[in-house]
Structure 1
Amino acid sequence: MSTFPTLLWLRFRRDRVQIAVWILLFVVLEVIAHAAVTETYGDEAEREGVIRLVILTPAILMLRGTPQGTQPDAFQYFLLFGFLGLMAGLMSTFLAVRHSRADEESGRSELIGSTEAGRITPLLATTSEGVILNVVIGALVGGVALAYGAEPLGALLHGAALAAVGIAYLGVGLACAQIMRTSRGANGLASAIVTLGYLLRAFGDATGTVQPDGLSMEAGWASWLSPIGWGQAVAPYTHQNAWPLLLCLGLAGVLLAVSIALQSSRDLDSGIIPERSGRLHAPRTLAGPLGLAWRLLRNPVIGWVVGGALFGAFLGAVGQSVIDLIDSPEAQQVAGAVSQTLAALTGPGAEGTMIDLFTTGLFALVGALAAIAGVQAVMHARQDEAGGTAEIVLAAPVSRLRWFGSYLVVGAATVAAVLVFAVAGAVLGLIGSPDVGDRVSIVAQAGLAQLPAALLIVAVVALVFAIVPRLSIGLGWAVVLAAVVFGQLGGLFGFPDWLRDVSPFTHTPVVTAAEVDWTAAWAMLAIAVAGGALSLVLLRRRDLALGG
């Protein structure tokens, strides 16, 4: 085990930039959220009013979680923890796959395995790195809460809940790396599991039970199928339940044991799910870089498109429930306040009926989903460059413009496909709803309105890759998270307008207005095209950046 400290240090050395970006994001989000909540919802009566409205609005419960009273720290935990848990899950799974399955693909694991380290020590080093990173992030988040006046036990449980969720998903990433044959497949499966956990938490919270005080809720059964739901159930500033942390740690321990057993018994560079036999002759579509890029990204793209369609279908299906909610006596009494809350989710200048605000507000999340899918496609170019496969392709009569342009085309097409299928799913879900024609028109416009902003984010990430390739993965995902948090969630957090304006999503057209202004959409589309073209020019002028 003398090689263990060396391998652990090597992992931190390789990940130093990404680790710094992740830590900074978590801390900044916690600080900004606390300041925004204090400024926007500083009065207990205001927080009580918001909670009573949220309990009447399943869409907000899905996004935020179950409220646990009006205490300021509990209110912030309710607003932010679900999103932070999603971030921790993605961070941990990406880290696990990067140092396990991706290392096997690159041949690094074979070299390390030929030393006294063997096959298990690298896995333990990866696990230790992930645990340490999550503990540090949890300690810093809890420290921020403590610095702002939270009680010590509550701050400790706050940080521990976030760390435990990340550690649970670290185990998921390690197991997926054993199951799938490629890092692409392992990341896709792990991301799907993390997203499913968030959706289960969302469904469980939306179907939760309101407590007698009318200011807190108990999550539904679906939340108990998700590590994010377990972390939320800790309720550090009210009930202070420490036992759900054991569920997260237990899941991580079981998955680690399974991963060690599989790592010890399977062949190197193989997976539990074998790849099907390849064709004897390559199809004609692989004769060029565009066909190759599509072949490499086909499965993840299909996964994102299916996810968009399911989200759209869910959105359309629950629309009738929102209409029923609007017609209820409770909602009629606070209709104006509910509309204001939904408008905060939809964006600056939002107006219209509550059902229209609900539809466009949740379609903003579809726009974020499309942007993430497009960015993932573009980031695959960096993986090819770091792994050396791009160098092989470019050794053939293929220019850099055609090579990277292929990834940009697939990324842009992925963005459009996710939005189109989400609209189609929503239309199917709306069948049988009152005023279905008007609803379909709003859904179609809401989907189209998200396209320029999502494409602009993809273009910005492409520029990052062209300028600072070694930092592009960490900085690229930071761009996506900042755009989503400031633009899509800034209204709920009460962020100032100047901060929200940083995000392209803030400038999407308000399709619920009497006259829709598409000027900003055309401007963002033009900037996205110019940014993509500039990234191609800059890529031609720099050397390939090999290595992770």
Structure 2
Amino acid sequence: MVLLRQRIRRDRLQLTLWIVGIAVLTYASMSAVFSTYGEEQDRREILGVAIATRTILVFRGTPNGVDDGAFAFFLLFAWLALMGGLMSTFLAVRHTRKEEEEGRAEAVAATAAGRILPTTATVVHGVLANVALGLLTALALMATGLEPGGSFVWGAAMTVSGFAFLAFGLFAAQLFRTSRGANSLSVTFVLAAYLLRGIGDAAGTPSEDLLHVTPAWPSWLSPIGYGQFTGAYVENDLTPLLIPLAFAAALIGLVFALQSVRDQGASLLAGRAGRATAGPVLSSSFGLAWRLNTSILLAWTAGGIATGLLATSLSSVVNQAATDAPQILETLRNAIGSEASIEEAFVAVFYSIVGILAACCAVQVGIRARQEEAHGTAELVLGTPVPRLRWLLEYWVVGVIVIVIVLAASALAGIVGAGNAADPESLIPNVLEAALAQLPACLVFLGLTLLVFAFLPRATIPAGWTVVGVAAILGVWGPILQAPDWLVNLSPFHHSPVPSGGGTDWTGGFWMLAIGLGLGAVAVWSMRRRELAPGG
């Protein structure tokens, strides 16, 4: 109980933000769905277009009718389950491999708790967090007027899929020697589960009335897919949840078996041996800062490339979809706050996602600086003739470079994907401008993260991710959910210029650029006299 209370106390802020945030987003999203697609004919058109084009199913879910609950389940469940999966895997790695990495797990294991009890406390902690998430989600759904039976089935599907992701996060922590490696594999697993479910839906068999789809076999490889098989509000069948529940139980059993025989700090996969001598890149402090962030850059750049390709390669599909269902264009215009054409709006929405990816990459660069300080390795660098101001400036420069690379890679991918468009010559300038328009907001998040690092170093990691997460929700979802203007305007993403045939207003972009550069300058200058703050 002591270890469980310690985990609950340690995660009280993070889990509250995750669980309450997802529940509030569920309630707000449901309200927006009912206001935007309140008529049955509108829903029939959307489902017909989605099933006819199939690609839309990758990003939504399994169509199962036009009733309120079934239609909302189709639109929202997969995405909410994805967020719950990330919450669970981060929790699992944070209380296992991260504890070993920091040396705290060894101290706990030397007490009467031993090897197994801390892992047991983490499992119970993760189970309680997912139960709370499922329960609050169900209550949020009921608050919008949906019937309790289907709402609790939806909540149960969220909970059980979270169990599966929690178990995989615990297993990944056994595989890798570092928390970064375990988190990377866990996030990949969550994204793969979402993608497999999407492929299964897109390859499924539609009904004759184009209101239902029977998913193909890839959906059976995904915990999110099994959650969809419950058919909340229609079948309300909890039987499919036995599969991810069994998967979680088996994997947790394997984790306990491995934990009982594995040495503290060891891993099933040996760490890669380093070079005997450093290469030319590591001959300077800037080269070291760059090298420490290359894996981060590769991961986020891959996401930017995939998003850029989708932004333009699907343009012909979206054109047809908007013709058949005008509500799609209205939704896209609400999202970007501009009366752009369908292609311009679609590109702008997708590149706003690219902007979020680039901002996350920049935030992670700032977090890496904090990790180097916390682990004591920054002190070794600063023990040489490298001043604090120059050291943080180099991290800021690396942050700017990674932002530019992610945006440039997504723009090149968008140009490649534009080859499938009806008029690629007119689409390519929109792609280039949409990618460039994300730069100012990304600089704001880089500056904010480094500013927190300079003044409140121990708050860098939670503050960095919280700020970019809240801003992403407000900037992308806020206009769609008809949030108050003052609230939406708090997000830098909302002020990113939107390319439009009638001209692009860069006023907000220039303000964001000035703010981002100013924040970075203040952060770097403030570092010159700050004492180092090692430890967590």
TM-score, with normalisation over the residues of structure 1? 0.88
Letter in 1 for 2:337: P
Instruction: Answer yes or no: is 1:351 the counterpart of 2:347.
Output: no
Partner SS for 1:281:
coil
Match 2:141 to one of 121, 140, 145: 145
Distance 1:218 1:401 in 2: 59
Amino acid at match of 1:32: A
The CA deviation at 1:37 is: 3.5
Q: Which amino acid aligns with 1:348?
A: G
Distance (whole Å) between structure 1 residues aligned to residue 264 and residue 514 of structure 2:
47
Stretch of structure 1 that moved more, 19-28 or 46-55: 46-55
Aligned partners of 1:71 and 1:286: how far apart in 2? 60
**What are the equivalent positions in structure 2 for 1:219-230 lying under 5 Å apart?**
219-230=215-226
Alignment of 1:271-420 (within 5 A): 271-322=267-318, 325=320, 332=323, 334=324, 336-345=326-335, 347-352=336-341, 354-420=342-408
Alignment partner for residue 516 of structure 2, among 508, 528, 533?
Answer: 528
RMSD of aligned Cα (Å): 2.9
Aligned match of 1:123: 119
Contact 1:53/1:337 (<8 A) preserved: no
How far is the alpha carbon of 1:348 from its aligned partner? Answer: 0.8
| Distance in 2 of aligned mates of 1:394 and 1:208 | 58
Query: For the structure 1 residues 382 and 239, does the alpha-carbon distance in structure 2 shift closer, same or farther, using more than 3 Å as the test?
Result: farther
1:424 corresponds to 2:420: no
Distance 1:188 1:424 in 2: 25
Match of 1:270 in 2: 266
Q: Does 1:460 align with 2:448?
A: yes
Q: 1:124-203 counterparts in 2 under 5 A?
A: 124-203=120-199
Aligned pair 1:94/2:96, yes or no?
Answer: no
* Residue in structure 1 matched with residue 231 of structure 2 by the alignment: 235
Cα deviation, residue 287, structure 1: 4.2
Are the structure 2 counterparts of residues 547 and 7 from structure 1 closer, same or farther at C-alpha, using a change threshold of 3 Å? Answer: farther
Q: 1:57 to 1:544 in 2, by over 3 A?
A: farther
Q: For residues 16 and 81 of structure 2, what CA distance do their matches in structure 1 show? A: 18
Tell me the residue number matched to 2:26: 30
> Cα offset for 1:349?
0.7
Letter of the 2:253 counterpart: A
The 2-side partners of 1:13 and 1:380 are apart by 25
State whether residues 308 and 350 of structure 2, in contact with CA within 8 Å, keep that contact through their aligned partners in structure 1: no
Q: TM-score, normalised to structure 2's length?
A: 0.90
What letter corresponds to residue 493 of structure 2 in structure 1?
A: F
Aligned partners of 1:475 and 1:367: how far apart in 2? Answer: 19
Shift in Å, 1:108: 1.4
Alignment partners' CA distance in 2, 1:436 and 1:252: 47
**Structure 2 match to 1:435:** 423
Q: What CA deviation, in whole Å up to 9, does each residue of 1:459-483 have, x standing for no partner?
A: 3333344444434333322222222
Cα distance change on mapping 1:145 and 1:69 into 2, 3 Å: same
- C-alpha distance in structure 2 between counterparts of 1:461 and 1:427, whole Å: 32
**Structure-1 residue corresponding to 2:503:** 515
Residue 84 of structure 1 is matched in structure 2 by 80
Deviation at 1:537, TM superposition (A): 3.9
Q: Identity over the aligned pairs, expressed in percent?
A: 43
- Native 8 Å contact 1:427 1:443 kept in 2: yes
Structure 2 letter corresponding to 1:247: I
Deviation by residue 1:290-342 (Cα, 9 ceiling, x = unmatched): 3222222222221222332233334444445556x46xxxx64x364443244
SS at match of 1:235: coil
Instruction: Tell me the CA shift for residue 94 of structure 1.
Output: 1.4
Mapped to 2, the partners of 1:282 and 1:112 lie a distance apart of 36
1:308–1:519 CA distance, 2 compared to 1 (3 A): same
Q: Note the C-alpha offset of 1:143.
A: 2.0
Match among 444, 459, 464 for residue 476 of structure 1: 464
SS of the residue 1:143 aligns to: helix
Distance 1:229 1:408 in 2: 41
Unaligned stretches of 5+ residues in structure 2: none
Task: Sort the Cα spacing of 1:208 and 1:400 in 2 relative to 1 into closer, same or farther, 3 A.
Answer: farther
Paired positions, count: 536
Q: Deviations over 1:271-303 (max 9, x none)?
A: 332222222223343344332222222222212
Conservation of the 8 A alpha-carbon contact between 1:53 and 1:338: no
Q: Is the CA contact 2:307–2:351 (under 8 Å) kept in the aligned structure 1?
A: no
Contact 1:450 / 1:508 at 8 angstroms: preserved in 2? yes
- Which residue in the other structure is 1:505 paired with? 493
**Structure 2 CA distance for partners of 1:465 and 1:64, relative to 1, 3 Å:** farther
- Residues of 1 paired with 2:417 and 2:129: CA distance? 42
Give yes or no for contact 1:188–1:300 (8 Å, CA) kept in 2: no
Structure 1 pair 245–542 and aligned structure 2 pair: CA distance change class (3 A): farther
Tell me, in whole angstroms, the C-alpha distance in 1 between the residues paired with 2:326 and 2:72. 23
Distance of 2:37 and 2:417 partners within structure 1: 35
Q: 1:92 touches 1:130 (CA, 8 Å); kept in 2?
A: yes
C-alpha distance after superposition, 1:100-154 (max 9, x if no partner): 2222221112222223322222222222211111111211221222344332222
> Partner letter of residue 487 of structure 1?
G
Deviation at 1:540, TM superposition (A): 5.0
